[in-house]
Amino acid sequence: MRILVVEDEIHLAEALATLLKKQNYTADAVYNGEDGLDYAMSNIYDVIVLDLMLPKMSGLDVIKNMRREGNDTPVIMLTAKGEISDKIRGLDSGADDYLAKPFNTDELLARIRALGRRRGEVVQPNAMTFGDIELDTRTLTLSCGGRSIKLTLKESELLEYFMANKNTVLSKEMIIEKLWGFDSAAEANHVEVYVSFLRKKLKFVGSRTVINTVRGVGYSLK
Ligand code: CA
């Protein structure tokens, strides 16, 4: 899963991003509402953790703009002490969940998992299947029949992205955004390299699942 943290207390934003990465999530952090909305509208996130009081644009305005534009990415709104959460609920902003600061990080992680599941990309918490393969995103293990092999984090993220988008051709640009974030310096040849690694590992476990190249468009899992 890819998670966006929008929080103007930079040390908190960075601490949350670090915590999420330790859980094998991909996490980006931005520090004001305008950037939050820009990143959210890229539509590459599975869950957004959004602070209420933000410079440039409030969390409520971020979410209202997202929903108005048809972006339904699940949002957990963070509220500071004194920003009464009942009042926020009453505003019916479109947030999916609320958490008051200071919060317990285990609680935040549990809510992120719950929203990620609701989104439907993760059928089971850690294991995904497609055709004859199984991917455990927690242990980064690819299995087929009795054979298995360890993947790197990026390989696992790439395969998870393919598995979550069955029968869809994913362009190199989409893959770069999903895996490296959208202002990263990653280029198309990064994608080619990781696709070739994954193909070798699929072959190693004896899978009949292949990553097809759709010339000029991208890749799809078959
Ligand atoms: Ca704030």
Cα 155 from Cα 25, distance rounded (Å): 13
**pLDDT tens digits for range 2-22:** 999 999 999 999 999 999 999
pLDDT value at 86 more than 60:
no
**Domains, in order of start, for the chain:** 2-118 (3.40.50.2300), 127-221 (1.10.10.10)
Residue 25 CA to ligand 1 center (angstroms) comes to 23
Which two tokens mark 147?
A: 């054979």
pLDDT value at 62 more than 90:
yes
pLDDT value at 182 more than 70:
no
Cβ atoms 93, 60 nearer than 8 A: yes
Q: Please identify every residue whose CB atom is under 5 Å from ligand 1, which is an ion.
A: 8, 51, 53
Kindly give the pairing relationship between strand 218-221 and strand 211-214: antiparallel
What was the pLDDT predicted at 168? Answer: 87
Give the ranges where the chain is alpha helix by DSSP (H). Answer: 10-22, 33-40, 59-68, 85-90, 105-119, 153-164, 172-180, 188-204
The pTM of this model reads 0.55
Residue 184 CA to ligand 1 center (angstroms) comes to 26
